[in-house]
């Protein structure tokens, strides 16, 4: 009897150890999932709509290497015969072609998204408007943007003045606008080049440049009109020039001296004073540069090209009333965009231009989108 009891204990212990061993084993991989098994959730990040940045992957040594595959993003407006925006369209309603080859749309949104707007103001003596009118119209424009929209404020005369970095703080933006001052010189090309390359190029998401100027440059040293137009084709930002004609005023001012204020250095700690004391000083216009009919025609062509190459719109302003109207129309248009993007089927050659065509399966509509872009230069490899 004792032997049977002993044998029974031994068998129970062996069975227990066997079960424990089985529970610690990892079941073999069969390559098949159980029918009722839930797959692990794998988050798929939305592609970043930025033309300039290539996608990166890590190799075995954790070195980041460029795939040289850039997401080309296109802001698109769809308008009816009365020039009204048509909303509610889906990704399936759109087709996009590069060099006549249909591309797969990898990014699409029909939602109103925040914009980053660079407000670039010409503060040269040739301006048709009074400083108070420019500031008032600019502030009215800011008031029509959405609260989440960010604004950069830049002014230029002979120098380029960065008055406000990207922010949606209205107080900071207002102070930056009110700090603008009229001065001599017009470095338009330098201002546009700096805005595009030093500020807007690194900003993600929807972006636009609103450029208030007559288009005539007299004092730029770092950039020129050709470089500006080339850079605009690499930049995925809309450009809205507001042009005013100063030809008649400039002819009357030619070779005359101008008595005007010379701003004092603002007190430290207050970079955006609402009022700046001034001392009288005498300044002269820079000879005859920027005063000929040919230069004004070239200025008009330059601004038209900036708008056309980026799918923006150019507006003309000759009075304070239509200056306000131009700003209002731009603010409204910035809320009326679809955004779509694609990774080009063929690898682009840096510096090469490609044609773009966007089509919509709707009748009696007009599609406004940029019709070309230039592949940006390759960037250096990054390492972690």
For every one of its 384 residues, what pLDDT tens digit does the chain have, with 9 covering 90 and above?
Answer: 445 455 454 455 555 444 444 444 444 444 444 444 444 444 434 444 444 444 433 333 333 333 345 899 999 999 999 999 999 999 999 999 999 999 999 999 988 889 999 999 999 988 889 999 999 999 999 999 999 999 999 999 999 999 999 999 999 999 999 999 999 999 999 999 999 999 999 998 999 999 999 999 999 999 999 999 999 999 999 999 999 999 888 887 775 655 454 444 444 444 444 333 333 343 444 457 888 999 999 999 999 999 999 999 999 999 999 999 999 999 999 999 999 999 998 888 888 999 999 999 999 999 999 999 999 875 443 333
Residue 39: predicted pLDDT: 44
Q: Do the beta carbons of residue 261 and residue 281 sit within 8 Å? A: yes
Q: Decide if 51 contacts 72 (C-beta within 8 A).
A: yes
Q: What is the CATH number of domain 115-333?
A: 3.40.50.410
The pLDDT, as a whole number, for residue 303 is 98
The order of strands in the sheet holding 94-98 is 101-103, 94-98, 353-360, 372-374
Q: How many other C-beta atoms can be found within 10 angstroms of the C-beta atom of residue 18?
A: 10
Q: What is the pLDDT of residue 165?
A: 97
Instruction: State the pLDDT at residue 14.
Output: 52
DSSP at 373: E
What pLDDT shows up at residue 245? 92
- The DSSP secondary structure of 334-346, one letter per residue, reads TTS-EEEEE--SS
**In angstroms, rounded to a whole number, what is the distance separating the alpha carbons of residues 69 and 379?**
12
Domain ranges of the chain: 54-111+339-374, 115-333
How far is it, in rounded angstroms, from Cα 241 to Cα 315?
6
Going 318 to 322 to 327 to 333, the CA torsion angle's sign is negative
CB atoms within 10 A of CB 71: 20
Confirm if 159 and 143 have CB atoms less than 8 A apart: no
pTM (2 decimals)? 0.74
Q: What is the 3-state secondary structure (H, E, C) of 288-308?
A: CCCCCHHHHHHHHHHHHHHHH
CB–CB of 243/229 below 8 Å?
no
Can you give the pLDDT at residue 257?
A: 55
Write the CB contacts of 272 (distance below 8 Å, at least 6 apart in sequence): 163, 164, 172, 175, 176, 178, 179, 266
In a 3-state reduction of DSSP, which class is residue 320? Answer: helix
The whole-number pLDDT of residue 253 equals 73
Whether the CA torsion 57, 62, 66, 72 is positive or negative: it is positive
**Angle at CA 317, nearest 5°, toward 315 and 321?**
115
């Amino acid at each position: 009897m004792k032997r049977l009891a002993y044998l029974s204990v031994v068998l129970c212990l062996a069975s227990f150890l066997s079960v424990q061993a089985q529970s610690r084993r990892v079941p073999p991989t069969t390559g098949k999932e159980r029918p009722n098994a839930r797959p692990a959730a794998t988050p798929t990040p939305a592609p970043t709509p930025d033309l300039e940045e290539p996608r990166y992957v890590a190799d075995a040594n954790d070195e980041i290497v460029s795939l040289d595959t850039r997401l080309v993003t296109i802001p698109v407006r769809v308008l009816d015969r009365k020039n009204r925006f048509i909303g509610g369209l889906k990704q399936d309603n759109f087709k996009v072609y590069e060099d006549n080859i249909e591309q797969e749309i990898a990014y699409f949104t029909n939602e109103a998204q925040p914009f980053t707007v660079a407000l670039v103001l010409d503060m040269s003596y040739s301006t048709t408007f009074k400083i108070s009118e420019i500031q008032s119209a600019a502030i009215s424009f800011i008031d029509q943007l959405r609260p989440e929209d960010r604004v950069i404020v830049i002014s230029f005369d002979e120098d380029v003045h960065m008055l406000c970095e990207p922010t949606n703080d209205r107080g900071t933006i207002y102070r930056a606008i009110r700090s603008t001052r009229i001065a001599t010189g017009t470095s338009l090309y330098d201002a546009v080049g700096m805005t595009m390359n030093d500020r807007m190029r690194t900003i993600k998401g929807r972006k636009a440049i609103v450029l208030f100027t007559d288009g005539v440059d007299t004092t730029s040293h770092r950039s020129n009109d050709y470089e500006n137009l080339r850079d605009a084709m690499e930049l995925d930002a809309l450009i809205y020039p507001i042009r005013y004609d100063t030809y008649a005023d400039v002819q009357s001012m030619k070779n005359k001296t101008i008595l005007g204020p010379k701003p004092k250095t603002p007190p430290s700690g207050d970079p955006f004073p609402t009022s700046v004391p001034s001392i009288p000083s005498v300044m002269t216009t820079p000879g005859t540069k920027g005063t000929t009919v040919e230069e004004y025609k070239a200025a008009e062509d330059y601004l038209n090209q900036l708008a056309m190459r980026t799918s923006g719109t150019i507006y003309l302003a000759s009075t304070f009333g239509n200056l306000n109207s131009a700003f209002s129309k731009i603010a409204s248009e910035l809320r009326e965009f679809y955004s779509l993007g694609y990774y080009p089927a063929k690898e682009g050659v840096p510096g090469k231009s490609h044609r773009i065509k966007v089509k919509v399966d709707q009748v009696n509509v007009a599609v406004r989108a940029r019709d070309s872009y230039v592949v940006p230069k390759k960037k250096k490899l990054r390492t972690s």
